Amino acid sequence: MLNFDYTNLIQIYNKDPKNSVCQAEIHLFSKNFKTYKKSIQSKNLGFLDLPKNQFELQKIVDFAKENRSKYEDIVILGIGGSMLGPQVLLDVFDQKILDSGLKIHCLDNIDPDLIFHVTQKINLTKTLFLVQTKSGTTPETLAQFFYFLDLCKKQNLEIQSHFVFVTDPVVGYLRKFAIENKIISFEIPANVGGRFSVLSPVGLVIGILINLDINNLMDGAQNILQSYFYEENPEVLNFSTIQYILAQKNKNINVLMPYSSRLKTLSSWFVQLLSESIGKQKKDQSSVGITPLPSLGATDQHSQLQLFKEGPNDKLIIFIEVQKQERKLPIPEILEPEFDYLSQKSFNELLKAEFLGTRQSLTESLKPNLTLTIDKVDEFNLGQLFMFFQLSIAFLGEMFEINAFDQPGVERSKVLTKEFLAR
Ligand code: PA5
């Protein structure tokens, strides 16, 4: 089970209350658990049902079994939540991609250089385009879709064999196109928003194509829901409370710093989740938000740590500690006395020591930090992390009294984009 440890915050509070939180402050919010829960449940949030209710799962498994061997390349077209979830899965389980023999390309942008580059790399006749968009209307994704549709048509390829859609069950252009052209498509439940969709077919189609253990992923997510939502253990709520209280104390930046390269993209996923959900203008025109900052241990010790340690005390550092890497990699005997401390240790021990050293150093400087610990990086633990963060957003939305599930601030730029194109 994922472990959540905020003892360093209490330690810092005892020396410097204005820069940290104490148990009594946290308790003020945990008393509201039932009220928050009731409000969250009244919102009909589909992501809470996904771990238990995978009505598309068998259909996806059958599709993968029947079709996997037909393809060399899979190109995922999508943006935002329709791409970030799959990207996390692909980065965490890159060994499974290798084992599957597939080459997977994520087109998460409309940069012509990127599109050209991917087009150059694929064997079109053996490519599956996985077009993922909840709304079915996102211009970036549809522009990519029309581009590759045109390429396939020009080569007289049967489009039904080269396109699969993941989209809303009813609305949107892509759904209409799927029906009219008999394209295989999987449904994102109507009440599951983009950044909460990783455990829907958005993550599952590619996950199953590379042979992830989906049951374990779902079990991990359900495990968090069961304990920290249905059984009302307050750990996730406490995490949100800490984020909220620290934001009130001018610590408006949340750094997510996993000590695992495999979890690097999880930080990008977290960035979208926190930014789009909590960055909001309220009815009285006041603004709220927490700025997420992605970081990677140990890499960013040589990039950001100087700022974290000696710069303004405006951040909460959220460490993710992985107790056991998949591989143990020894450092050989080093005969240089200068490097005695490294000799015959392992990279695993070095990474762990760097994590402990960094955490202690920040605590000594009274810089708020907490740690989420998982025993290893696997489907179960990733499912836990996904749900831990998604659930924390729901609680944060309650505290900030905002709708964490819309993104009206993105609309204006879409309108202006169309205006610029029309000029
Ligand atoms: O969280 C969200 O809803 C958004 O960020 C979407 O994921 C993003 O805009 C892409 O939307 P769609 O999946 O409709 O193409």
The 10s digit of each residue's pLDDT in 105-122 is 999 999 999 999 999 999
pLDDT of residue 110: 97
Task: Quote the CA–CA distance of 214 and 221 in Å, as a whole number.
Answer: 11
**What does the pLDDT average to over 382-388?**
98
Q: Is 90 exceeded by the pLDDT of residue 411?
A: no
Determine which one of 180, 302, 333, 338 is catalytic: 302
Angle in degrees, 0-180, between the axes of helices 81-92 and 201-209, rounded to the nearest 10: 30
* C-alpha separations of 316 from 6, 20, 372, 399 in Å: 11, 9, 13, 18
Q: How far is the CA of 337 from the centre of ligand 1 (A)?
A: 55
Q: Is 134's C-beta closer than 6 angstroms to any atom of ligand 1?
A: yes
Beta bridge partners of 129: 75, 163
Tens of pLDDT, residues 23-41: 999 999 999 999 999 999 9
Structural element, H or E, at residue 344 = none
Beta bridge partners of 350: none
**What does the pLDDT average to over 332-340?**
93
Alpha helical stretches, state H, 316-346: none
Q: How far is the CA of 309 from the centre of ligand 1 (A)?
A: 35
Determine which one of 15, 117, 414, 418 is catalytic: 414
Residue 280 annotated in active site: no
The span from the first CA to the last CA of the chain, in angstroms, equals: 56
Compute how many other C-beta atoms are within 10 angstroms of the C-beta atom of residue 7. Answer: 10
pLDDT of residue 96: 96
pLDDT of residue 54: 85
Residue 276 annotated in active site: yes
Residue 302 annotated in active site: yes
Beta bridge partners of 5: 371
Q: Is 195's C-beta closer than 6 angstroms to any atom of ligand 1?
A: yes
Q: What's the angle, vertex CA 160, arms to CA 135 and CA 107, rounded to 5?
A: 50
User: Residue 98: pLDDT band by 50, 70, 90 thresholds?
Assistant: very high
pLDDT of residue 220: 98
Beta bridge partners of 258: 320
Q: Do strands 315-324 and 253-258 pair parallel, antiparallel, or not at all (unpaired)?
A: parallel
User: Residue 412: pLDDT band by 50, 70, 90 thresholds?
Assistant: confident
Counting from 1 in the atom list of ligand 1, the atom nearest the Cα of 81 is 7
Q: How far is the CA of 133 from the centre of ligand 1 (A)?
A: 7
- Alpha-carbon torsion, ordered 207, 211, 216, 218, to 10 deg: 30
Q: Do strands 280-281 and 253-258 pair parallel, antiparallel, or not at all (unpaired)?
A: unpaired
Taking the model in full, what pTM does it have? 0.97
Sign of CA pseudo-dihedral 221, 222, 225, 227 = negative
- Alpha-carbon torsion, ordered 267, 44, 41, 79, to 10 deg: 0
Determine which one of 235, 276, 321, 398 is catalytic: 276
pLDDT of residue 222: 98
Q: How far is the CA of 137 from the centre of ligand 1 (A)?
A: 10
Q: Is 238's C-beta closer than 6 angstroms to any atom of ligand 1?
A: no
